[in-house]
Structure 1
Amino acid sequence: MKTVIRAFFRALRAVLGPFMLLKERLTQPTGVQRAPAAQTAVDLQCQSLALYQFSTCPFCIKVRQEMRRLSLPIEKCDAQHNNAHREQLLQGSGASKVPCLKITEANGQTRWLQDSSEIVDYLRERFAAPAA
């Protein structure tokens, strides 16, 4: 039974995936415009972040859209097709659930956020654009 369910969802992803990616591409938000120095500072901060994701996961799409809206060049790690990334996700967070944001603190500590809403809230709080 488990095999049948997995096959069903794989087929569903194969059919719906291209439409989800097309919608993501067509509805890309305009990124925040920052002063060059401010954007450079944001770019440096983003080097300590990595998003483990699947390309057609709707929750991952939600996080990627927010990354675009905030102009964040966060590394994206494909945990669906890349076994090394999947293994890193499993070892670091304890599950292969996506999206998952790996946050490496300045002191070397690593923490993992596993919920799309928590990830979006974290990104908005940390990288919110200053009010005009």
Structure 2
Amino acid sequence: MKLVRWLLGRLILLLNFVFSPKGIKRSEKEQQAVNEKSKSLALYQFNACPFCVKVRRAMKRLTVNVELRDAKNNSQYREELLTEGGKSKVPCLRIEQNGEVQWLYESSDIVNYLEEQFKTN
């Protein structure tokens, strides 16, 4: 079973690489504003998780730079996800605003949040 999961994970990553979406073209000033706004975000994820790939593709499509935190291979991030977020589930977007932290778990909810925050006119 581990071999099948490993092979599927590699296939997902390969297809993601081959069919990678193009990002939004913004002016330098607009992109700096997006980068500044996205500094308060962190995505807890597994590299080959299909739902995590979905969120990373949305980030690329929106040209949003979010810190990626590997909760599979980094015990500190895995522990943060469990103790602060309440669940050991990925993908999870950590959103810090005005000193408060919100944890957003479902990939579709995360994509919707990113689209609302970083859409272009």
Q: Structure 2-normalised TM-score?
A: 0.97
Q: What are structure 2's unaligned runs of at least 5 residues? A: none
1:2-46: CA deviation from partner (whole Å, max 9, x where unpaired): xxxxxx3x3322121111100011111100011111100000011
CA contact (8 A) 1:13 1:56 kept: no
- Aligned partner (choices 102, 115, 118) of residue 124 of structure 1: 115
2:79 paired with 1:87: yes
Per the alignment, residue 58 of structure 1 pairs with 50
- Percent identity over the alignment is 46
2:62 paired with 1:70: yes
Q: Secondary structure at the match of 1:51?
A: strand
Superposition deviation, residue 129 in structure 1: 1.3
Residue identity in the other structure for 1:125: E
Superposition deviation, residue 70 in structure 1: 0.3
Q: Structure 1-normalised TM-score?
A: 0.89
Q: What are structure 1's unaligned runs of at least 5 residues? A: 1-7
Residue identity in the other structure for 1:70: L
RMSD: 0.8
CA distance in 2, matches of 1:12, 1:45: 39
CA distance in 2, matches of 1:39, 1:116: 24
Runs of 4+ in structure 1 off by over 4 angstroms are none
Larger radius of gyration: 1
* Aligned length, in residue pairs: 121
